[in-house]
């Protein structure tokens, strides 16, 4: 190959590298999507929070309830905002399009029970800069803490997210066991 051929080949490689770098620059960091969602919820901005969900996004809450569809997600977000939900992310880890984080969450239900904030783990799948799935679950120690608070006399009649304590705890235990087993299986 002569000098001219080498120069043309080098120019081609540089051009392809530039295209690859531009493509990487356009990718949205999954952690930034989480942060924008947290900011929107904490600001009480339903529309900004909903705008971060993909059209086929799926939310699974701490009791295993699955929320799908734009209007259902909107109602879920509005309910959290109305309950004065406050998100406070702690340990955030990103692997590819998956974000796993621990959150200290407060809302009116947890405050009435005297356990706010509670620690929740959430696993998000971010695709094309949008939330595709979100699975939230309690750490087992948090369920125990909530269960003990529910047993106190002053907790009589307190509803946790519109549910009696016993029902809330039962669903949270089942979902947490399932979510932890699924997460462990994903890591294999």
Cα distances (Å, whole numbers) of residue 26 to 19, 20, 23: 11, 10, 5
Cα distances (Å, whole numbers) of residue 182 to 9, 30, 31, 68, 177: 48, 21, 22, 20, 9
User: Domains in the chain: how many in total?
Assistant: 1
Residue 15: left if φ>0, alpha if ψ -120 to 50, beta else—which one? alpha
Is residue 111 a part of any domain in this protein? yes
What integer pLDDT is reported at residue 108 of this predicted model?
Answer: 87
CATH of the domain at 52: 3.10.450.50
Quick one: which H or E segment has residue 151? none
What integer pLDDT is reported at residue 21 of this predicted model?
Answer: 38
Is residue 7 a part of any domain in this protein? no
Cα distances (Å, whole numbers) of residue 185 to 62, 181, 188: 19, 6, 5
Is residue 166 a part of any domain in this protein? yes
What integer pLDDT is reported at residue 2 of this predicted model?
Answer: 62
Is residue 17 a part of any domain in this protein? no
What integer pLDDT is reported at residue 10 of this predicted model?
Answer: 47
What integer pLDDT is reported at residue 175 of this predicted model?
Answer: 96
Is residue 15 a part of any domain in this protein? no
What values do phi and psi take at 122, rounded to 5? Answer: -135, 145
Is residue 107 a part of any domain in this protein? yes
Instruction: Tell me which residues of the chain have a pLDDT lower than 70.
Output: 1-26, 185-188
Domain that holds residue 148: 27-186
Residue 13: is it exposed, middle or buried by C-beta count within 10 angstroms (0-12/13-18/19+)? exposed
Is residue 1 a part of any domain in this protein? no
Is-above-0.85 flag for pTM?
A: no
What integer pLDDT is reported at residue 8 of this predicted model?
Answer: 59
Is residue 3 a part of any domain in this protein? no
């Amino acid at each position: 190959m002569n000098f001219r051929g080498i120069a043309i080949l080098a120019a081609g490689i540089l051009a392809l590298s530039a295209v690859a770098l531009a493509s990487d620059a356009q990718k949205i960091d999954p952690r930034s999507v989480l942060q924008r969602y947290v900011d929107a919820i904490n600001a009480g901005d339903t529309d900004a929070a909903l705008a971060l969900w993909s059209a086929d996004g799926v939310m699974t809450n701490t009791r295993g309830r699955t929320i799908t569809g734009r209007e259902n997600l909107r109602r879920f977000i509005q309910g959290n905002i109305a309950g004065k939900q406050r998100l406070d992310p702690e340990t955030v880890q990103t692997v590819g399009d998956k974000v796993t984080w621990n959150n200290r969450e407060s809302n009116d239900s947890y405050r009435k029970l005297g356990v706010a904030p509670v620690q929740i783990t959430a696993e998000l799948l971010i695709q094309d800069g949008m939330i595709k799935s979100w699975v939230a679950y309690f750490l087992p120690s948090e369920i125990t803490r909530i269960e003990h608070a529910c047993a106190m006399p002053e907790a009589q009649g307190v509803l946790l997210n519109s549910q009696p304590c016993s029902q809330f705890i039962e669903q949270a235990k089942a979902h947490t066991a399932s979510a932890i087993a699924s997460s462990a299986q994903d890591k294999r």
